Structure 1
Amino acid sequence: MHEMSIAEGIVQVLEDQAKAQCYTRVKTVWLEIGPLAMIETEALNFCFEAVTRDTLAEGAVLNIIKIKGEAFCMQCLKNVPITERYDSCVDCGSYQLQVVQGDEMRIKELEVE
């Protein structure tokens, strides 16, 4: 389960930013995750709750914002929606797609004290 290491990484970022920006408590974390990032959101929520115990983010709410997957089709020369890494183009059926969006995971916003 790589969600545990992801949750630990999130807490490390929060602690690093707390030192840099002088906050002492994290109340809410908004996290953007694309469908191609291969992250199980329920597992991530569970792991986040576990790893934030006794940290500045204990009790923090993790809000997950799901973003859409998108790729550029080299045959159609346009962006098309995708839900999995090896999807075909919805317009022409080509597999010559370059991912444009949807494989990222990033902290979008924090509510802190």
Structure 2
Amino acid sequence: MHELSLCMSAADIIREQAEQHGIARVTDVWLEVGALADVEESALHFCFDIACRDTVAQGCTLHIDVIPAQAWCWDCSREAEIMQHAGCCPHCGSERLRISEGDDLRVKSLEGE
């Protein structure tokens, strides 16, 4: 379950950002999850609650935005959005794609008081 390590890293970023901006309690967090990050949304929620326990983000509301992955097609030399590892280029149908982004997790924003 790599969701826990991802959430622990996100919790560190949230804590640092809250400290930098003088936020005493984080109320909402928005995460961007790449379509190819191979995370289960329910596991992500569960692990996020664990990672944020006893921090300024404990009890905050987690919002998850799944974003399409970007890939480069070797055959037609165009960028393409894909939502799964076994994707094909929507322009030419090739399966020869190089993933350029969309297999990660990012803290997009947070709100607090």
| Conserved 8 A contact 2:6-2:105 | no
- Aligned counterparts, 1:1-113, within 5 A: 1-113=1-113
Deviates more, 1:85-94 or 1:29-38: 85-94
Matched residues, number: 113
Distance 1:70 1:19 in 2: 33
Distance 1:18 1:78 in 2: 39
Q: Which amino acid is 1:14 matched to? A: I
How many Å apart are 1:59 and its aligned residue?
Answer: 0.9
| Conserved 8 A contact 2:26-2:111 | yes
How many Å apart are 1:112 and its aligned residue?
Answer: 1.3
Distance 1:61 1:34 in 2: 20
Distance 1:109 1:47 in 2: 18
> Structure 2 unaligned runs (5+)?
none
Match of 1:30, SS state, is strand
Distance 2:71 2:13 in 1: 29
Query: Structure 2 length normalisation: TM-score?
Result: 0.86
Q: Which amino acid is 2:8 matched to? A: E
Distance 1:47 1:105 in 2: 14
Distance 1:80 1:93 in 2: 11
Distance 2:8 2:67 in 1: 22
Per-residue Cα deviation, 1:47-97 (whole angstroms, up to 9, x for no partner): 111222221111100100111123121212222232223423234332321
Match of 2:10, SS state, is helix
Instruction: State the identity as a percent.
Output: 40
Match of 2:36, SS state, is helix
> Structure 1 unaligned runs (5+)?
none
Query: Structure 1 length normalisation: TM-score?
Result: 0.86
* Structure 1 consecutive aligned stretches of length 4 or more whose deviation exceeds 3 Å: none
